[in-house]
Amino acid sequence: MNHNNILFRRDRDTILFDDVNLRNIETKFGTPTYLFSADQIRRNIKFLREKMLEYNPQTSIAYSMKNNIIPEICTIIADEVDYFETTSMLEQKIVEKIILEKKKNIHIVSTNIYKPDGLIKEVIEYPNISSSEINSAKCHSFLAIDSYHDLKNIVKAAQRLGVKPKVLIRVNPGIKMDIEETIFASANISAKCAVVISNIKPIIKASNDPTIKIWLPERQFKPEFDTAERLVKEANESEHLDLVGLHCHLGSQITNIEYFDRFFEVVTRFFKIMNEEINDKMKILDLGGGYPVDYAHCECVPTIEDISKSLSKNIKNSGINPEIIIESGRFITANSGLLLSKITITKENSDGHKIAVLDLSTYSDLLDVLTAQWSYNYSLINELPDSDQKATWRLVGGTNDTLDQLTPRIVKCSNCKEQIIEKKEITFPRELVIGDIIAVKSVGAYTTCFNSNYCGRSKPLIVLKDSTSKQQILRIR
């Protein structure tokens, strides 16, 4: 389902986003301004939960905070989910404030590759803060151990505090992933996070599918300490740790369903194999995030339903029955936010291209355009013509920097593999003029966290539309 279709509606010569007239937002707040819909965030979570639960009844949804830590947005999300995935002290403090204000239990999964001592302490002590202030029920906190040295740091902190923290071992299944098509791949052999499953023979043996070998490349080098098998055993045997499960993460915006399928197969089989060695000690399987969003370039992203079915199939095939946690960020926030920007200058260059200069910058407002060659969907929202004349324009950011351009370059779809779109211009329904307003769609994930003051620019305002609040349109930054 493409949520964007229901979100945007034309009304005479403008566009409504979730029933908000975008011209009114521009008039009232100026540009560049992000507009978020709280209602869409709620709809996304409801959709994700329903589709996951339909095939996997023991699933809890965690919100992966790193993609958007605006406190007002986290507060809305806190009403809808049971867990937050945190990676830093600031994220931790935001959750703590929310649970105390709301008097609602939220569990924590702390996942960062490096966890400073202060953060480890904060996470270990989190259940105390929450239970004393909220009610007799306890919030839980889990530390996802990322490496051998991370385990040692957590053991030291646990010893000092005299508390046995609940831990998950963050496992890298080391599957074959084409980095070109999955720029944020996190489950391939060279990934920087997690500890790799070193012995793949038992998984290959347990699988009924001979093609699994193609997906599980031989490990050329076997680390002495940083393997998933070693960490599971060390954590299990440690008198300072309470091993409760595994953690893993395929990557972000993974658009190939086969990756999900093989990832689920390998981690569920590994869960079973390790649990047989440690008396079924592990009860939780946290599968991380990565649930993809339909951005501008391709309609081929796997649906949550397909992903959920694949998970259910693999859980059954592996014969396990864990509590499942999924940590979603992008799917929850991306299409709930847009960025309004004004055309400040138009110009032509000698190769005949028409250039429209926006009052935003990719560096500070849409960083993924640069780091991940992201292409968003750009729509004109004012004085829309009745008939489509079609005019093509290059859109660029408002700094002198050469890379500061919004126009998509190369887009490769992992599902219809041959299709490589190389586009330098964007088509609009009429010629653009100075003062026109462009909406950049589906920018709710990751963008606001990267906002900076590059070139002395101010950070864009952030406005929230929430139909459940008294003041339906609220400026939050």
Ligand X SMILES: Cc1ncc(COP(=O)(O)O)c(C=O)c1O
Interface with ligand X by CB under 6 A: which residues? Answer: 64, 67, 85, 111, 249, 252-253, 288-291, 327-331
Cβ proximity to ligand X, 19 vs 323, nearer residue: 323
Q: How far is the CB of 454 from ligand X (least distance, A)?
A: 23
Q: How far is the CB of 87 from ligand X (least distance, A)?
A: 8
Q: How far is the CB of 448 from ligand X (least distance, A)?
A: 13
Residue 139 gets which letter from DSSP? Answer: P
Cβ proximity to ligand X, 327 vs 368, nearer residue: 327
Q: How far is the CB of 79 from ligand X (least distance, A)?
A: 19
DSSP for 423-440? ---EEESS---TT-EEEE
Residue 320 burial (CB < 10 Å; 0-12/13-18/19+)? middle
Cβ proximity to ligand X, 331 vs 378, nearer residue: 331
Q: Where are the beta strands (DSSP E) in 26-111?
A: 33-37, 59-64, 83-86, 107-110
Give me the torsion for CA of 110, 115, 119, 123, rounded to 10°. 30
Cβ proximity to ligand X, 329 vs 397, nearer residue: 329
Residues 393 and 383: their CA atoms lie apart, in Å, by 17
Cβ proximity to ligand X, 130 vs 186, nearer residue: 186
Q: How far is the CB of 43 from ligand X (least distance, A)?
A: 17
Q: Kindly list the distances between the CA atom of residue 154 and the CA atoms of 80, 130, 157, 451, in Å, as whole numbers in the listed order.
A: 30, 21, 5, 32
Query: Which residues 6+ apart lie within 8 Å of 138 measured at CB?
Result: 105, 127, 130, 131
The helix/strand/coil state of 336 is helix
Residues 218 and 122: their CA atoms lie apart, in Å, by 39
Residues 369 and 14: their CA atoms lie apart, in Å, by 26
Name the helix (H) or strand (E) containing 421. Answer: strand 420-422
Q: Which residues of 283-310 are buried (b: 16+ CB within 10 A; e: fewer)?
A: ebbbbbbbbbbbbbbbebbbebeebbbb
Q: How far is the CB of 422 from ligand X (least distance, A)?
A: 26
Cβ proximity to ligand X, 204 vs 370, nearer residue: 370
Q: How far is the CB of 35 from ligand X (least distance, A)?
A: 20
Q: How far is the CB of 290 from ligand X (least distance, A)?
A: 5
Give me the torsion for CA of 374, 379, 380, 381, rounded to 10°. -130
Cβ proximity to ligand X, 327 vs 436, nearer residue: 327
Q: How far is the CB of 142 from ligand X (least distance, A)?
A: 12
Quote the tokens at residue 155.
Answer: 């053991």
